[in-house]
Amino acid sequence: MTKFGVILGVVAVLGAGWLMWSVRGSVLGTPTTGPLLELDLEDQAVYRQLAQGITSGDPTGTIGIIEFGDYQCPGCGGFALAVKPQIDLALVQTGRAYFQFFDFPLTNMHPHAFLAARAARCAGDQDLYWEYHQELFRNQSSWSGRQSAVGAFLGYAQGLGLDQDTFEGCVKSDKYADVVTANMSLGREAGVSGTPTIFLNVKGQGLRPVMRNDFQAIEAAIESALEDLETAGN
């Protein structure tokens, strides 16, 4: 996981004072309402430490592809299964860009999305974040409609060979609830209102929204950004 650094510099920090976030996942996979934590958003160091994306590729690269996504969102599932493999092959593995995923569970309509985000990060504790990420999206139609998704989430971990006791203990705790909540606040401040939302993070220029979520649009946006950088350097 990478600390949220570059994006924070180009996204406005929330207004002065204290903000109470009230979204957290219960051990049954249904969000409950109640105070999770207080973030003093005047303290940028705290904000930077809490908001964390998961990175594939070299995060010091010139171009970053930033996704704010929701594991229970069908559009995010389509992006993960059809577009992200193209990004990995053509852009990340070739060093043209890195990819970062930030959690943005739409808790008002997707009751298991917050817990799913935490479960993926629990899998990341055992170095299988991206494998679990894809497993959640591949099986989205199966777990999304359940009253409780915990059993399914534990089953996917077992299928990937994760240590079950460690994973279950993580999922049934509140671990990463603060990180997911901070990512949600970050997305809102960046103007995210739906998922998936894609930005380019261009070194020295900040965030650029990508208006479509298909591979061709993302690749074209990267080429445009690189041309702008070349022009600015002349």
Structural domain including 112 reads 2-233
For residue 3, is pLDDT > 90?
A: no
Partner residues linked to 66 by β-bridges: 100, 199
Least reliable range by pLDDT among 42-46, 47-51, 80-84, 112-116: 42-46
**What is the rounded CA–CA span in Å between residue 138 and residue 80?**
9
Identify whether the C-beta of residue 41 lies closer than 8 Å to the C-beta of residue 51. no
The answer to whether 185 and 39 are in contact (CB under 8 A) is yes
pLDDT tops 80 at residue 9: no
Q: Residue 50: which CATH number?
A: 3.40.30.10
For β-strands 63-69 and 98-103, DSSP reports them as parallel
Measured distance CA(33)–CA(183) in Å, rounded: 18
Q: Cα(12)–Cα(209) distance, rounded to whole angstroms?
A: 15
pLDDT digits (tens, 9 = 90+) for 149-166: 999 999 999 999 999 999
Structure tokens at 206: 């900040």
Of 2-11, 30-39, 174-183, minimum mean pLDDT range: 30-39
For 68, the enclosing helix (H) or strand (E) is: strand 63-69
Q: Are 159 and 135 in contact (CB under 8 A)?
A: yes
CA distance 71 to 113: 5
Residue 57 φ/ψ region, left for φ over 0, alpha for ψ in the -120 to 50 degree band, beta for the rest: left
Q: How confident is the model at residue 5 (pLDDT cuts 50, 70, 90)?
A: very low
208: phi then psi, degrees, rounded to nearest 5? -125, 125
What pLDDT is stored for residue 45 in this prediction? 57
Give the pLDDT of residue 88.
98
Closest CA to 132 of 123, 144, 140: 123
Looking from the CA of 211 toward its CB, the CA atoms found within 13 Å total: 1
pLDDT band at 43 (very low <50, low <70, confident <90, very high): low
108-122 pLDDT, tens per residue?
A: 999 999 999 999 999
Give the pLDDT band of residue 19 (cuts 50, 70, 90).
Answer: very low
β-sheet with 52-56: strand ranges across: 2-3, 52-56, 98-103, 63-69, 197-202, 206-209
Q: Is 80 exceeded by the pLDDT of residue 42?
A: no
| Helix (H/G/I), strand (E/B), else coil: 151 | helix
Cα–Cα distance between 7 and 200 in angstroms, integer? 10
pLDDT above 90 covers what percent of the chain?
A: 69
Question: Is the pTM value of this prediction over 0.75?
Answer: yes
Mean pLDDT of 15-38: 32
How many domains does the chain contain in total?
1
Which residue type sits at 2? T
Of the ranges 53-62, 168-177, 186-195, which one carries the lowest mean pLDDT score?
A: 186-195
Of the candidates 105, 14, 100, 108, the residue with the CA atom closest to the CA atom of residue 60:
100
